[in-house]
Amino acid sequence: MPTGGTTYKTDEELLSAFRKSGDNTLMGVLLQRYTMLLLGVAMKYLKDKNAAEDAVQQVFMKAISHLPKDDIQNFKGWLYVLLRNYCLQQLRDKHYHTDESTLYNVSATDEDKDERIWRETTLEAMQDAIQKLEPEQKQCIQRFYMQQQSYKQIMEQTNFTFEQVKSYIQNGKRNLKLILTQKK
CA distance 128 to 20: 47
To the question of pTM greater than 0.75 for the whole model, the response is: no
Asked if the structure places residue 53 within a domain, the reply is yes
User: Do 122 and 173 have their domain in common?
Assistant: yes
User: Do 22 and 92 have their domain in common?
Assistant: yes
Count up the domains in the chain and report the number: 2
Asked if the structure places residue 103 within a domain, the reply is no
User: What's the pLDDT at 117?
Assistant: 59
CATH label of the domain that carries residue 76: 1.10.1740.10
End position of a domain, from candidates 40, 70, 96 = 96
For residue 37, what are the domain limits? Answer: 2-96
Scored b (16 or more CB within 10 A) or e, 45-79 reads: bbeeeebbbbbbbbbbeebeeeeeeeeeeebeebb
User: What's the pLDDT at 120?
Assistant: 61
User: Do 87 and 139 have their domain in common?
Assistant: no
Contact 83, 56 (CB under 8 A): yes
Asked if the structure places residue 102 within a domain, the reply is no
User: Do 14 and 74 have their domain in common?
Assistant: yes
Express each pLDDT in 126-176 by its tens digit.
778 888 999 999 999 888 877 788 888 999 999 999 999 999 989 988 888
- Binned at pLDDT 50, 70 and 90, residue 59 comes out as confident
User: Do 134 and 66 have their domain in common?
Assistant: no
User: Do 81 and 126 have their domain in common?
Assistant: no
User: Do 8 and 67 have their domain in common?
Assistant: yes
Contact 55, 90 (CB under 8 A): yes
One-letter identity of residue 145: Y
